[in-house]
A and B are shown apart, each in its own frame.
Chain A
Amino acid sequence: MPIKTRYLTLVLFISPLLNAAEPAPFSGVDFQTGENISLRDYSGKVIFLDFWASWCPPCIESLPAWESMRKNIGTDQFELIAVNVDENPEDGEEFLDRFSLSYPILFDPEGEIGIPYGIRSLPTSYLIDSNGQIVEEFRSFNTGDEIQIQSTIEALLQK
């Protein structure tokens, strides 16, 4: 005897807040300058570390937004480092042709930088304070997020 069944489901996901943590050290060749750079080169500065890929739709908006944010904040006490995680780095390079970016960009096709940070989705960004501690993690990106993030960075710089 047939029965029709209907379900209405509400699902909630809650993620725990990030506690301050030591960022994993890394080094690599800056795509912009061809020079070897490492996280240690920026010790004493506030760092915004962004992981992205060419197949990540929000990254089309986040990469130029980071450029504007970096220009607004300046680089005396701050630096922004972007890490591309495309399996095929050529895809990332082709993607970069769309933009005029000046911040350091590293390529990480094997996940040598990304895996220690536990990247699960893109874009994911970390804010590292001048004491070398990760103080905030940002997942995904919506237009306008860079304004809020810039305020957070400026507040951190004034501490």
Chain B
Amino acid sequence: MKLAGNAALSQVISGSYGLSDHWTLSALISHVEHKRSIGQSFFGEQRSSGIGDSVIMVRYSPFYITPFTRNELSLGLGLRFPTGDNDAGGVIALSEDMQPGTGANGTILWGNFSHSFNQPGTWQLHSSLNYMFNEDNDRKYSFGDQFNFATGLSWHNSNKLGLSGTLRYRWADADERSQFEIPNSGGQWLDFVPAMQYTVNDKLGISLSGRIPLKRELEGIIQFTTSYSYALAFSYAY
């Protein structure tokens, strides 16, 4: 896939294994590609690509939606660790946010609550939140801690098609190097995320989603941030 303008492409493979009815183990690995063109910059166009960070998470669901219960709660504890390069760019390394990986460990606290408005679960409310604590990498750089909260409604026709709309709030603390704040980093974002899911069969599903910015309050005068994004996901259960 060719990137145009200032863009990033993330390819993510994640897997979940049901350890029991209540415990799930999940893992995620990503491949990241960045491209940035800086107007009159001496460096001109910057590019980087490679394996990004990986995440492993244990989730516990004390109760979940079934034909007999309407609510679902899941709590998770995850570890993010570097599996890719964070020194791309050769002699003069690219900025930290252009690196495929962060080069640092992180801890993720995650929670999700869903409520089904009817027995078939055709209408559901979803809310999730997570907090990520980020540590320093080998260049004493740490990405700011992050908090995400998302809530929305989903509908499916109990057959093939599902639609959802989600409001997503994200707060990120400023990045730091050697405990000094990096200017033009951190802020708050409010996005709307529409999504469509299609169930091909009882094993295969496809979903397409977008992220539309509603409000941003970014730290600093000049900050690179995502204007919009879209995601295509394939899921396979066996």
Within 8 A of A (CB), among B177-215: 201-202, 211
- Indicate if the CB atoms of B229 and A6 lie closer than 8 Å: yes
Residues of A with Cβ closer than 8 Å to B? 1-16, 51, 53, 55-57, 85-87, 110-111, 114-115, 118-122, 139-140, 142
Given contacts A4-B6, A4-B226, contact A111 B14 (CB under 8 A): no
Nearest B residue to A12, CB-CB: B15
- Indicate if the CB atoms of B159 and A57 lie closer than 8 Å: yes
- Indicate if the CB atoms of B228 and A9 lie closer than 8 Å: no
- Indicate if the CB atoms of B15 and A142 lie closer than 8 Å: no
A142 CA to B203 CA, complexed, in Å: 11
A56 CA to B122 CA, complexed, in Å: 11
- Indicate if the CB atoms of A85 and B68 lie closer than 8 Å: yes
Residues of B within 8 A of A111 (CB): 67-68
Residues of B with Cβ closer than 8 Å to A? 1, 4-21, 36, 64, 66-68, 119-120, 158-159, 201-202, 211, 222-238
Contact of A3 among B120, B202, B226, B233 (CB under 8 A): B226
10 pairs, CB–CB < 8 Å, chain A vs chain B: A1-B6, A4-B226, A6-B1, A6-B8, A6-B10, A6-B231, A8-B1, A10-B13, A13-B235, A85-B68
Contact of A115 among B9, B68, B223, B234 (CB under 8 A): B68
Contact of A57 among B7, B15, B158 (CB under 8 A): B158
Given contacts A7-B229, A7-B231, A120-B66, contact A2 B14 (CB under 8 A): no
Contact of B119 among A86, A110, A118 (CB under 8 A): A86
